[in-house]
Amino acid sequence: MSEQRKIVEDSPQMRSVAMHSSMPMMPRVAPLARSKAALAPPLVTKSQVTTGSLWNVQQAPRLPSMYFLERTVVHIADASPQQVASRIVECLRAQSVAAVYHDKEALVVAESQECVQFAIRLWESKNQIAVEVQRSSGCSYAFHQLAKTVLQASKGLSRAPSPSRFALPKCIPRQTDQERKECLKEGLEIAVSLLQNDAIDSQLMAMESLAHLSKVCTIGFAAESIMEHAEIRTRLFSLVEDSANTDTQQSNSELDNSNLTTMRRQAITVLANCLDSLKEHNKLHACVNRHSDLLLSETLLMALLSRVSNAQEMPHEACQATRCLASLTEASTVSRRRALELDASKLVQQAHFVATRRHAQLQGLTSKLQLHL
């Protein structure tokens, strides 16, 4: 008989690992504050609009030895901290990114229209300026696109144009309008089921889906379906008007309150997309007549103007509210008259003044609305 082999049981094997020092690491950039007061930028004065800078960085903090930079970082040797800061301020304005500037810490806390929150920080490292961009929350892909733009702008370079999209091969069958309508119907049914869920995050997903459907649909069917669906319409206007029904949903959870705030922004975006789509397909006037109790109500106009007047703290909401006001005042003389009675011209002018140095999209929208009013 051949000698039997000895069977060795599998067992955990000890492996070497790197052991770091017990010295506490340098903390990362502080998480973004979620309260409106903490995110509120300082008031913009007329001197700042003409001569001053929103972000004054005479000297960047020295990079600590135990601080590990993010991968989204560039080093600049041919510019002063103030020059780099001015480039970043202009870039954020052009990209319509809401930002709060902290001079002493050389820090920017920012948020894009896609709800991507991130921080920008300047460091002094080896006689160079290190520009670090760090994501706090939101879509990773959208963040990296923004980070590339910011980092290139900090070096004094313009962002390279996006590559052109390739057309679909002719062998791939195109969807008919009827097939697209069926897909949209299915998407709306899913959104309605999510709205009926008690969880705020599910309702947020519903509003995000409606915002996407109302934006990508080019045949006007999604806008009509959203405005004619009683349950969606009721929930949508409740969020836009910020009525007592939504106030009762405040939770002790910071995450739920943050989701609720985002959901209200998405609701204004859905309404703005729907009104623009209906106007493009010459159906807005008929829709306003059918739902005049909602679209021409003083409650809705006051809610929209309230967001426009709050452009300093929430420029993204002010953008969507301005879009809604532009569509409504163009479609109805009643809406225009009521808006003027609520001092819309003055509020829009103030929002335009705030947007001049902070938000390019809001600046353009308020300019057009001022001419119309």
pLDDT one-digit tens code per residue, 206-219: 999 999 988 877 66
**Residue 165 pLDDT greater than 60, yes or no:** yes
Look at residues 95, 181, 197 and name the one whose alpha carbon lies nearest to residue 146: 95
| Higher pLDDT pick, 202 / 5 | 202
pLDDT band at 180 (very low <50, low <70, confident <90, very high): confident
Find residue 108's DSSP bridge partners.
101, 120
| Higher pLDDT pick, 156 / 249 | 156
CA distance 5 to 10: 15
Residues 6+ positions from 244 with CB-CB distance below 8 Å: none
**Contact predicate 276/325, CB 8 Å:** no
Exposure on the CB side of residue 327, measured as CA atoms within 13 A? 27
Q: What is the pLDDT of residue 220?
A: 74
This prediction's pTM:
0.80
Distances (CA, A) of 244 to 249, 252, 337: 9, 17, 27
**Residue 307 pLDDT greater than 80, yes or no:** yes
Distances (CA, A) of 34 to 31, 68, 283: 9, 26, 39
pLDDT band at 297 (very low <50, low <70, confident <90, very high): very high
Q: What is the DSSP string of 293-362?
A: HHHT-HHHHHHHHHHHHTTTT-HHHHHHHHHHHHHHHHH-HHHHHHHHHTTHHHHHHHHHHHHTTT-HHH
pLDDT band at 29 (very low <50, low <70, confident <90, very high): very low
User: Average pLDDT for residues 228-234, to the nearest whole number?
Assistant: 91
Q: What is the pLDDT of residue 112?
A: 95
**Residue 66 pLDDT greater than 80, yes or no:** yes
> What confidence tens digit (pLDDT) does each residue in 41-55 have?
444 444 444 335 799
User: Average pLDDT for residues 157-175, to the nearest whole number?
Assistant: 73
Residues 6+ positions from 328 with CB-CB distance below 8 Å: 275, 288, 295, 296, 301, 335, 339
What φ, ψ does residue 198 adopt, rounded to 5°? -75, -20
User: Average pLDDT for residues 311-339, to the nearest whole number?
Assistant: 94
User: Average pLDDT for residues 134-156, to the nearest whole number?
Assistant: 94
User: Average pLDDT for residues 22-27, to the nearest whole number?
Assistant: 38
Residue 181, class by beta-carbon neighbours within 10 Å (0-12 exposed, 13-18 middle, 19+ buried)? Answer: middle
The token duo for 131 is 């520009």
**Residue 252 pLDDT greater than 50, yes or no:** yes
Distance between alpha carbon 168 and the CA centroid of its chain, in Å? 30
Domains of the chain, start order: 54-154 (3.30.310.80), 177-372 (1.25.10)
User: Average pLDDT for residues 286-312, to the nearest whole number?
Assistant: 94
> Largest alpha-carbon pair distance within the chain?
106
